[in-house]
Homo-oligomer: A and B are copies of this chain.
């Protein structure tokens, strides 16, 4: 096999640019307060062009959640493959949220959860999938950490995983009205402190 030179990194195509803009808008305003017009204005194209790529708003919404969920999953997989310690996994998990928030964005699926009842069925399923995936990854990391003695918590890993997700999503949500990332950071630190307290360092 010869080493074939890679083509220069191509600019994202229209579908990806649409998703980029739509994602940012939905993270800021939610799905119901977001319109094809918002995206069209930002990309300097017409709403008709948008409908060519994503005929219905529900399809655009589902594509948003799928891409977001896959991107999130790859971040988690990276930590697994790097053989990260339990504590650095938990720290890394919190960091993903903190990065999002420092860009002034909410978690896409967190925002959508608040509108869950009004969303099309495909999106609802995809959103639950996102949280299930997060919970499973966290629960596995927590159980391992408990065995190793570097993390301490009452109850099972699944419940604690849900608590962590709920706590981080809630803290993110509430930090938006105050436009203050520190609000999130303080809560996250507080949360991790509770898990690490009295356990021996990893």
Check B155–A193 contact: CB distance below 8 A. Answer: yes
Check B28–A177 contact: CB distance below 8 A. Answer: no
Verify if A33 is at the interface (C-beta below 8 Å from B). yes
On chain B, the residues within 8 Å of A190 by CB distance are 153-155, 159-160, 162-163
Verify if A110 is at the interface (C-beta below 8 Å from B). yes
On chain B, the residues within 8 Å of A128 by CB distance are 177-178
Select the stretch in A47-55, A78-86, A166-174 that faces chain B: A166-174
Per the 8 Å Cβ criterion, residues 106-153 of A in contact with B are: 106, 110-111, 113-118, 124, 127-128, 131, 153
| Contacts A170-B169, A173-B166, A186-B159; A114 near B106 (Cβ below 8 A) | yes
| Contacts A29-B118, A154-B197; A170 near B178 (Cβ below 8 A) | no
Q: Count of A residues near B, CB < 8 Å?
A: 48
On chain B, the residues within 8 Å of A198 by CB distance are 198
Whole-angstrom distance from the CB of A140 to the nearest CB of chain B? 17
On chain B, the residues within 8 Å of A160 by CB distance are 190
5 A/B residue pairs, CB under 8 Å, sorted by A: A29-B118, A111-B114, A113-B173, A159-B186, A159-B190
